[in-house]
Amino acid sequence: MMFETWWLLGLPLVFGLGWVAARFDVRQLLSEQGALPRSYFKGLNFLLNEQPDKAIDAFIEVARLDPETTELHFALGALFRRRGETERAIRVHQNLASRPDLPESEREHALYELGQDFLRAGLLDRAEESLRRLMSGPYAASSKRVLLELYQVEKEWKKAIDAARELQGLEQKDYSVQIAQFCCELGQEALQRKQPEQAVQWLHQALKENPKNVRAPMLLGDVSSAAGDPAAALEHWLGIERQDAAFVPLVADRVVKAYHQLGQQGRALDWLHGLLKGNLAPELLDTAYRAELEANGAAAAVTLMRDQLRRQPSLLALTRYFEAQAELGRQEAPAQEAAGATATATPVADQGQEAAAIGKLLQARTRNLARYTCRECGFRARLFYWQCPGCARWETYAPRRTEALG
């Protein structure tokens, strides 16, 4: 009974202690809120009322009065940059970086963010200036990554090579694919300037960096072709079939042209016919169709496309089939008219016109269907790119087009 009495007497004490604790927490919360500058609440109010310019001014005042709120500005600046409001992002980060009382670590953070702002705004010189101040310290690797992106935008390939090598050492990450592509860019520029020896040096350097690089032998073949040596060009281009056969369609037209220069049209057709029987057929259809039409005429082109439709049906093969039929009709119509068509026979000219109409309809419907697709971001393009225009990554396009109706 005595235990129950003490238990009843203890209940008011427990409730009293809880009330005191609650009052203490409320007073502490009110005290903390009272310590926050009024500019903080003004800034929040401006944000809620979609007045970002006034909000920035208010938050800058908060930063001046209370350095502990700088993370708020970093978040706000990053938000503006993601929204494409680069001028506002620059303003936020410039004010942070210029504060004399800002800790060095946060100043470096502000410079890093500012460099990204300038890059997004297209102010490349100012972006490089900001990031170059961070070549050591916690933001060194991140700054070098942004600089690498900047050098690619500027097409400063030698600087891009240096930045990639530095990153390779800092991050212990393989950048050989990118470095090889930068070398290829320099080789292609040298080739355009008609400096073949310099082009060859850069292309061999690309293969040294990445022996699997396919672009270098393609360009080496171009160097030999420009020098008037189709046999050497063929050696480079046909070697791609052994290296990575999927890229052969990218040089198929050049191979056919080189064979023609050597007077070996038959070998070009044999090469194409052999490839058409494999998995590369869809990519080689256009090249094979034109070569067959030029060498053996429309009837042979019709037969080739009919056989291809039986092996691997596709809209592209069907389009070329009707184009060949239309061309055959145009070629045979004069002969039929001269011989005199019977009343019951359908004139070849009419058949050719029907085939031409179907071919044009198919071409109009399928012109934009065949696309190269980036494996990383899904960006689709009619042309093949070594660097994706969407995500700016290298060698993400498979050299195979897809016919997508969606």
Which pair of structure tokens corresponds to residue 207?
Answer: 């293969």
Q: Tell me the average pLDDT across 371-390.
A: 85
Q: What percent of the chain has pLDDT over 90?
A: 26
CB 177 within 8 A of CB 210: yes
Tens digits of per-residue pLDDT, 59-113? 666 655 555 567 777 777 777 787 788 888 888 787 777 777 778 888 888 888 8
Q: Tell me the average pLDDT across 294-317.
A: 85
The interaxial angle of helices 140-154 and 104-121, nearest 10 deg, is 20
Q: What percent of the chain has pLDDT over 70?
A: 70
Supply the pLDDT for residue 27.
43
Q: Which of 163, 85, 152 is nearest to 124 (CA)?
A: 152
Highest mean pLDDT among 14-18, 114-118, 294-298: 294-298
User: φ and ψ at 138, to 5 degrees?
Assistant: -65, -20
Three-class SS state of 394: strand
Q: Tell me the average pLDDT across 142-161.
A: 89
Amino acid, single-letter form, for residue 321: Y
- Spatial CB neighbours of 163, under 8 Å, sequence gap ≥ 6: 144, 147, 148, 151
Count the neighbouring beta carbons within 10 Å of the beta carbon of residue 215. 24
Residue 12 predicted with pLDDT over 50: yes
Q: 106-115, 262-271, 331-340, 370-379 — which is least confidently predicted?
A: 331-340
Q: 191-200, 250-259, 306-315 — which is least confidently predicted?
A: 306-315
| Better-predicted residue by pLDDT, 70 or 304 | 304
DSSP secondary structure letters along 219-287: HHHHHHHHTT-HHHHHHHHHHHHHHHGGGGGGGHHHHHHHHHHTT-HHHHHHHHHHHHTSTTHHHHHHH
- Give me Rg for the CA atoms of the chain: 35
Q: Which of 100, 107, 156, 151 is nearest to 128 (CA)?
A: 151
Q: Is the dihedral of CA 339, 345, 350, 354 positive or negative?
A: negative
Domain range 35-173, CATH class: mainly alpha
- The Cα–Cα gap between 25 and 384 comes to 65
Confidence of residue 22 (pLDDT cuts 50, 70, 90): very low
CA 291 to chain centroid, in Å, comes to 33
Q: Tell me the average pLDDT across 276-300.
A: 84
Count the neighbouring beta carbons within 10 Å of the beta carbon of residue 71. 10
Confidence of residue 143 (pLDDT cuts 50, 70, 90): confident
Supply the pLDDT for residue 312.
82
Q: Tell me the average pLDDT across 372-389.
A: 85
- The Cα–Cα gap between 252 and 321 comes to 20
CB 184 within 8 A of CB 202: yes
Residue 276 predicted with pLDDT over 60: yes
Three-class SS state of 100: coil
Placement of tokens 């010189």 in the chain: 125
Supply the pLDDT for residue 343.
44
- The Cα–Cα gap between 64 and 40 comes to 11
Q: Is the dihedral of CA 39, 43, 48, 53 positive or negative?
A: positive
Q: Which of 101, 38, 111, 37 is nearest to 77 (CA)?
A: 111
Residue 183 marked as a ligand binder? no
Supply the pLDDT for residue 61.
62
| Better-predicted residue by pLDDT, 323 or 48 | 323
- Strand order of the β-sheet with 380-381 is 380-381, 370-373, 402-403
Residue 374 marked as a ligand binder? yes
Residue 208 predicted with pLDDT over 70: yes
Confidence of residue 361 (pLDDT cuts 50, 70, 90): low
CB 170 within 8 A of CB 144: yes
Q: What angle do CA 131, 134, 135 make, to 5 degrees?
A: 105
Residue 405 predicted with pLDDT over 70: no
Placement of tokens 């039409």 in the chain: 293
Strand partners, 402: 371
Supply the pLDDT for residue 32.
41
Residue 232 predicted with pLDDT over 70: yes
Longest dimension (CA), the chain: 131
Q: 23-37, 315-329, 363-377 — which is least confidently predicted?
A: 23-37
Q: Tell me the average pLDDT across 315-325.
A: 80
- The Cα–Cα gap between 324 and 352 comes to 9
Instruction: Give CATH superfamily name and number for 174-246.
Output: Tetratricopeptide repeat domain (1.25.40.10)
Tens digits of per-residue pLDDT, 196-206? 999 999 999 99
Q: Tell me the average pLDDT across 4-22.
A: 49
Indicate the average pLDDT of the chain: 77
Residue 388 marked as a ligand binder? yes
> Distance of CA 82 to CAs 78, 89, 380, Å?
6, 9, 23
Supply the pLDDT for residue 398.
79
Torsion angle, CA of 212/217/219/222, rounded to 10 degrees? -170
Tens digits of per-residue pLDDT, 119-131? 888 788 888 788 7
